[in-house]
Amino acid sequence: AEARRWEDLCVQLRIGESSDLRRQVAYELVPAVKFADANRAKPAIRYIADFVYVEKGVDVIEDVKGVLTPEFKLKRHLMKALLGLEVRLTK
């Protein structure tokens, strides 16, 4: 599904319906932390968008999902709550 969507987005890019198409764009939701009882820091929590592009002058963050996992639901929620960014869901 993701490969098919990529092809569709490439067509939209070629005909001028969108611009600045990028894949696998990372957003940091929570920075890395080091607990007092740990030897190493825990890595930052990131959301990686399948696609990011501009459509009609608006930045679009898009994810292709067949199944909405609990992890995706949480990260989508955090994207909106913490960064004010909406993730468009495509099936």
How far, in Å, are 6, 31, 36, 58 from residue 39 at the CA level? Answer: 41, 17, 8, 43
Q: What pLDDT score does 73 carry?
A: 96
pLDDT, tens digit, for every residue of 26-56? 999 999 999 999 999 999 999 999 999 999 9
Give the type of residue at 68. Answer: L
Q: How confident is the model at residue 91 (pLDDT cuts 50, 70, 90)?
A: confident
Quickly state the pLDDT bin for 1 (edges 50, 70, 90). Answer: very high
Q: What is the pLDDT of residues 76-89, one digit of tens each?
A: 999 999 999 999 99
Sequence-ordered alpha helix ranges (H) in the chain: 2-14, 70-83
